Structure 1
Amino acid sequence: MTTVCGVELKGHEAIFTIVEKKDDGGFVVKPIDTKKIALKDSESRESIKEFKEQINNFIADNNVETVCIKKRSKKGEFSGGADTFIMEAMIQDSDAKDVKLVSPQAVSAYQKKNNIVAPDELNKYQHNAYLTAVTGANK
Structure 2
Amino acid sequence: MKLCGIELKGNDAVLVVLEVSDEGPKHIDFPTRKIALGDSDNAADVICFQKEIAAFFVSNNISKAVIKKRAKKGKFAGGPDTFKMEALIQVIPDLEVELVTPQALAAMEKKQDIIYPNSLKKYQEVAYLVGVWVTKYSKY
Q: Specify which of 9, 25, 28 is matched with residue 26 of structure 2.
A: 28
Structure 2 residue runs of 5 or longer lacking an equivalent are none
Partner of 1:116: 114
Question: Shift in Å at residue 62 of structure 1?
Answer: 1.1
| 2:95 partner letter | K
After superposing the two structures, state which structure 1 stretch, 112-121 or 34-43, moved more.
112-121
Corresponding residue for residue 16 of structure 1? 15
State the partner residue of 2:38: 40
Structure 1 runs of 4+ with >6 Å offset:
none
**Structure 1 counterpart of 2:57, from 45, 56, 59:** 59
- Amino-acid identity (%): 43
Instruction: Give the aligned residue type for 2:5.
Output: G
Q: Counterparts in 2 of 1:120-131, with a 5 A limit? A: 120-131=118-129
1:66–1:96 contact (8 Å) kept in structure 2: no
Find the counterpart in structure 2 of residue 92 from structure 1.
90
1:96 to partner: Cα distance: 4.6
Tell me how far apart the structure 1 counterparts of residues 52 and 94 of structure 2 sit (CA, whole Å): 13
Unmatched 5+ stretches in structure 1: none
- Report the TM-score, using the length of structure 1 for normalisation: 0.94
TM-superposed deviation, 1:97? 2.7
Paired residues of 2:25 and 2:135 also in contact (CA < 8 A): no
Residue 50 of structure 1, CA deviation:
0.3
Aligned residues: 137
